[in-house]
Amino acid sequence: MESTDTYETDHLKATELRLGLPGTVEPQKQSPATASIKSNKRALPECAKDCSSNNNSCASDVKDGDCACAPPTKAQIEGWPPVRSYRKNCFQPKKNEPDVTGMYVKVSMDGAPYLRKIDLKVYKSYPELLKALENRFRFTIGEYSEKECYNGSEYVPTYEDKDSDWMLVGDVPWDMFTSSCKRLRIMKGSEARGLGCV
Amino acid sequence: MDCKRNRDMKSPPPFPDEVLERILSFITSRKDRSAVSLVSKDWYNAERWTRTSIFIGNCYSVSPQIVIRRFPKIKSVTIKGKPRFSDFNLVPPNWGADIQAWLFAFASAYPFLEELRLKRMTVSDESLEFLSLKFSNFKALSLLSCDGFSTDGLAFIASNSKNLIELDIQENAIDDFSGNWLCCFPENFTSLEILNFANLNSDVNFDALERLVSRCRSLRVLKVNKNIQLGQLQRLLVKAPQLTEIGTGSFLQELNLQQYAELACAFNHFKNLHTLSGLWEVTSVYLPVLYPACTNLTFLNLSTAVLQSDELAKVLGHCPRLQRLWVLDTVGDAGLQSVGSSCPLLEELRVFPADPYSQDIFHGVTESGFLAVSRGCRRLHYVLYFCRQMTNAAVATIVQNCPDFTHFRLCIMNPHQPDYLTDKPMDEAFGAIVKTCTKLQRLAVSGLLTDMTFEYIAKYAKNLETLSVAFAGSSDWGMQCVLDGCPKLRKLEIRDCPFGNAALLSGMERYESMRSLWMSACNLTMNGCRLLAQEMPRLNVEVIKEDESEDCVAEKVYVYRSVAGPRSDAPSFVLTL
């Protein structure tokens, strides 16, 4: 196997397009992440034009006399693009991971003949979820407050958590809620008295 | 006071000094004051006695002694130091621009100094301590893009500057040891109106910050750093409903419904907010809390918020009065479409690259985003646009839509990149800009450019004051054109261009009417620079010599006019020729 490899690489080398003199072999330079490319003097327009169509800036390679255009990762040019360093450190771009499986939970409403199912992953916050429930079941939920729960509403949203306890929706941060919610129950206000809200 | 009246009494002045001085004290514009000082000796004197605010664009163009001798009554000083390319690490550390010599001189000449605004200067902790102790009436400190100090230095300012109104620490490269400096404001200190520590990295003592905000009833600008969480922000906002500029901290904290409601309620109170920034890690969950505060917003800085196009669109729908917008290119062309449709009053747009080193052309914005903005925002006159592709045709259309550009800074991030549709150089784009935008003051060029671009600039850009050039041009002729054809050019910064000694020397006569010239990675030699220095003794011609370059090559050259002579504090790697 080895012999065919060397045969191939030799022939590939011979046909490789370079600007160097035939017969000269440049040592393969590893492009360090932050090489400082100095004196990028004469950007030969022809070479720059050829290279740029590959979407690689070969400007940094030109001075080596070797316009290989091969490696897709060019060495970084010192101070280019002209972006202040404090801006570079700021952030990681958000990764919008698509959720393959939804988080469907049953929703029951006191007095309704059948249950529904909703996908909790669709909603990003409590207000969104509550609005969706209001729309789905055609009722209104009052204003949430820690003391008075859902004040002045006929119905109160509750959920069963991992420990099988019935909890009031809204007390814990959203992500904690979505990870512990097994099912939802929209309870009649009169029944909700037992949950600690007067 | 008497000495100034000791002059020839040959012809009595048309009116007494006091009257002239009273009149001149109303003139605040720098340019007007310069003009006034040239009228006559009397006017020169009256002007210098009434000037209270001084701007020094290049700290080495003049010495502290000369400034003090001419202007005896200065209360506010603004000084700029290093060449602008130092922002991109092209200037080695310890280059200079140290404020200490200035402070020494000011301590005796201007003991009642009130304001100090520095840009690209080196400021040590000792200098900050000196400042806090020697100037009892000190009111405003603004440090932009400075280095050399640490949070210890800030502690001195907080402890000792009893009359402080403004503390604005922006974008500096400093040592951030701890946030304890904030605790150093005394409990009876209440005068602060502007506090900006958005770019500091360490945790500040939140209790101290909260107490500070509570007792400074005139606080109108508060920009915190990203260590301040949402819950904490809410508490601060509730204590300072009079704020007109808010820089939030991080939006990452998870809030329960109660906290969310409280945050929304807090923002709901800010009907007079005109500037909003920060918003690190903001997600679409929390963006809605900002909407009520955006009605009168004129400046929205989203350059540290990673937003997608739909998120931006929703926000902008609530910002009808927006004049200035800074965003990341994650919003994409679609996001910029919504800028065009939602912000008819927009005057300034800056689009920063979220991922500057990625070569993936599918990230970021293109010419179509810019076009969309230009169609909807006809008042646009300032743009900074980082992109990975552009066409000549698009730029021509853009400037037809918005002919009033005063600042056009286009950065096609791949050096030497041509028009991606025609494969031609981008010369016609910049030609269109300078032909159409007669008010153009500042231009930054990029992409594949031949000397033609510079011919266009020389022929049409008659109001151009600042020009930034990188990886462009074909020969000396390009630079020669510009030096010959742009009478108002003051700042010229060039990197990685094929301009050599002939180009440098062709501008010999020009440099004395310019603030400065920077050329790095061009074709200059030491001999060429020496020749320039010889011919023009009132210029400082400095070469930055770093070890790697050959002896005769002048790798980095900085030329500037000066009445103070060559620098006395130049480090070993700066050769004054």
For B284-293, the pLDDT digits (tens) are 889 999 999 9
Beta bridge partners of B470: B495
SS3 (DSSP) at B518: strand
Instruction: Report residue A12's pLDDT band, with 50, 70 and 90 as the boundaries.
Output: low
Q: Chain A partners of B306 at a C-beta cutoff of 8 Å?
A: 91-94
CA B271, B247, B213 angle in degrees (round to 5)? 80
Q: How do residues B316-352 score in pLDDT, each as one tens digit?
A: 999 999 999 999 999 999 999 999 999 999 999 999 9
CB contact under 8 A, B254 and A176: yes
Comparing B21 with B559, which gets the higher pLDDT? B559
Q: Chain A partners of B308 at a C-beta cutoff of 8 Å?
A: 94, 96
Alpha-carbon distance of B98 to B314, in angstroms, equals 46
Among B342, B331, B326, which Cα is nearest to B306's? B331
Per-residue burial over A51-75, b = 16 or more CB atoms within 10 Å of its CB, e = otherwise: bbeebbbbbbbbeeebbbbeeeebb
From the list A57, A87, A171, the residue facing B415 with the nearest CB is A57
Query: Would you tell me how many other CB atoms lie within 10 Å of the CB of residue A113?
Result: 5
Mutate: best of A80, A171, A177, A178, partner B, most B CBs <10 A: A80
Alpha-carbon distance of B199 to B154, in angstroms, equals 14
Among A167, A171, A170, A173, which Cα is nearest to A192's? A167
Q: Chain B partners of A87 at a C-beta cutoff of 8 Å?
A: 303-304, 352
Helices (H), B437-568: 451-460, 476-485, 501-506, 526-535
SS3 (DSSP) at B175: strand
Comparing A38 with B41, which gets the higher pLDDT? B41
Which parts of A38-154 are beta strand (E)?
104-109, 116-119, 143-145, 149-151
Burial class for B408, CB neighbours closer than 10 Å (0-12, 13-18, 19+): buried
Q: Chain A partners of B261 at a C-beta cutoff of 8 Å?
A: 144-145
Exposure of A159 in the CB half-sphere (CA atoms within 13 A): 24
CB contact under 8 A, A174 and B285: yes
User: What is the rounded average pLDDT of the residues A166-176?
Assistant: 87
CA B62, B66, B71 angle in degrees (round to 5)? 115
Backbone phi, then psi, for A22, in 5-degree steps?
-65, 140
Backbone phi, then psi, for B154, in 5-degree steps?
-60, -35
Which of A42-46, A127-131, B243-247 has the highest average model confidence (pLDDT)?
B243-247
A32 touches B at CB < 8 Å: no
CB contact under 8 A, A41 and B522: yes
The residue of chain B nearest to residue A76, with distances taken between CA atoms, is: B357
Residues in chain B: 577
A8 touches B at CB < 8 Å: no
SS3 (DSSP) at A127: helix
Least confident of A22-31, A175-184, B373-382: A22-31
Instruction: Report residue A13's pLDDT band, with 50, 70 and 90 as the boundaries.
Output: low
- What DSSP line would sit under B95-130, residue for residue? ---BSHHHHHHHHHH-TT--EEEEES-B--HHHHHH
A172 touches B at CB < 8 Å: yes
CB contact under 8 A, A79 and B90: yes
């709901």: which residue's tokens? B268
User: What is the rounded average pLDDT of the residues B513-528?
Assistant: 95
| pLDDT value for B11 | 65
Q: How do residues B234-252 score in pLDDT, each as one tens digit?
A: 999 999 999 999 999 999 8
pTM value is: 0.78
How far is the alpha carbon of B352 from chain A, nearest alpha carbon, in Å?
8
Interface of A with B in 74-133 (CB under 8 A): 74, 76-88, 90-94, 96, 124-127
Q: Chain B partners of A73 at a C-beta cutoff of 8 Å?
A: 359
What strands, in cross-sheet order, belong to the sheet with A155-160? A116-119, A104-109, A183-188, A155-160, A166-168
Burial class for B487, CB neighbours closer than 10 Å (0-12, 13-18, 19+): exposed
Amino acid at B15: F
Exposure of B483 in the CB half-sphere (CA atoms within 13 A): 24
CB contact under 8 A, A57 and B88: no
Residue B384 has pLDDT above 90, yes or no: yes
Alpha-carbon distance of A143 to A150, in angstroms, equals 5
Amino acid at B405: F
| pLDDT value for B355 | 86
Q: Which two tokens stand for residue B163?
A: 């009359």
From the list A38, A57, A172, the residue facing B416 with the nearest CB is A57
| pLDDT value for B7 | 54
Write out the H or E segment, with its range, that includes residue A57.
none
Backbone phi, then psi, for B243, in 5-degree steps?
-60, 140
| pLDDT value for A42 | 43
Comparing A45 with B365, which gets the higher pLDDT? B365
Q: Which two tokens stand for residue B378?
A: 């006809």
CB B334 within 8 A of CB B309: yes
| pLDDT value for A31 | 38
Among B321, B308, B372, which Cα is nearest to B347's? B321
Alpha-carbon distance of B238 to B246, in angstroms, equals 12
CB contact under 8 A, B330 and A124: no
Interface of A with B in 135-154 (CB under 8 A): 144-146
Q: Give the dihedral sign, CA B353/B354/B356/B362.
A: negative
Beta bridge partners of B560: B516, B540
- What DSSP line would sit under B311-337, residue for residue? HHHHHHTT-TT--EEEEEGGGHHHHHH
Residue A58 has pLDDT above 50, yes or no: no
Alpha-carbon distance of A60 to A80, in angstroms, equals 12
Residue A59 has pLDDT above 50, yes or no: no
Residue B53 has pLDDT above 80, yes or no: yes
User: What is the rounded average pLDDT of the residues B153-159?
Assistant: 95
CB contact under 8 A, B258 and A144: yes
Alpha carbon dihedral B293, B295, B299, B300, in 10-degree steps, equals 60
Which of A175-184, B19-28, B431-440 has the highest average model confidence (pLDDT)?
B431-440
Give ipTM to 2 decimals. Answer: 0.86
Comparing A18 with B560, which gets the higher pLDDT? B560
CB contact under 8 A, B330 and A93: yes
CB contact under 8 A, B254 and A175: yes
Alpha-carbon distance of B397 to B427, in angstroms, equals 15
| pLDDT value for A14 | 57
How far is the alpha carbon of A91 from chain B, nearest alpha carbon, in Å?
8
Amino acid at A27: P
Residue B31 has pLDDT above 50, yes or no: yes
CB contact under 8 A, A81 and B386: yes
Q: Chain B partners of A176 at a C-beta cutoff of 8 Å?
A: 254
CB contact under 8 A, A38 and B521: yes
Instruction: Report residue A87's pLDDT band, with 50, 70 and 90 as the boundaries.
Output: confident
Average pLDDT value over all residues in chain B: 93
Largest CA distance in chain A: 92
Mutate: best of B176, B302, B357, partner A, most A CBs <10 A: B357
CB B260 within 8 A of CB A126: yes
CB B25 within 8 A of CB B48: no
Write out the H or E segment, with its range, that includes residue B54.
strand B53-56
CB contact under 8 A, A126 and B257: yes
Q: Chain B partners of A85 at a C-beta cutoff of 8 Å?
A: 89, 173
DSSP, res A34: T
Alpha-carbon distance of B222 to B237, in angstroms, equals 9
CB contact under 8 A, B450 and A84: no
- What DSSP line would sit under B348-417, residue for residue? EEEEE-SSTT---TTSS--HHHHHHHHHH-TT--EEEEEES---HHHHHHHHHH-TT-SEEEEEESSTT-
Round to the nearest angstrom and report the end-to-end CA distance of chain A. Answer: 82
Alpha-carbon distance of B521 to A42, in angstroms, equals 10
Comparing A21 with A180, which gets the higher pLDDT? A180
**Packing angle of the helix pair B451-460, B427-436 (nearest 10 deg):** 0
Among B515, B562, B569, which Cα is nearest to B540's? B562
- Sort strands A143-145 and B76-80 into parallel, antiparallel or unpaired: unpaired
Residue A90 has pLDDT above 70, yes or no: no
Amino acid at A128: E
Exposure of A189 in the CB half-sphere (CA atoms within 13 A): 13
Alpha-carbon distance of B182 to B107, in angstroms, equals 26
From the list B284, B417, B450, the residue facing A52 with the nearest CB is B417
How far is the alpha carbon of B189 from chain A, nearest alpha carbon, in Å?
31
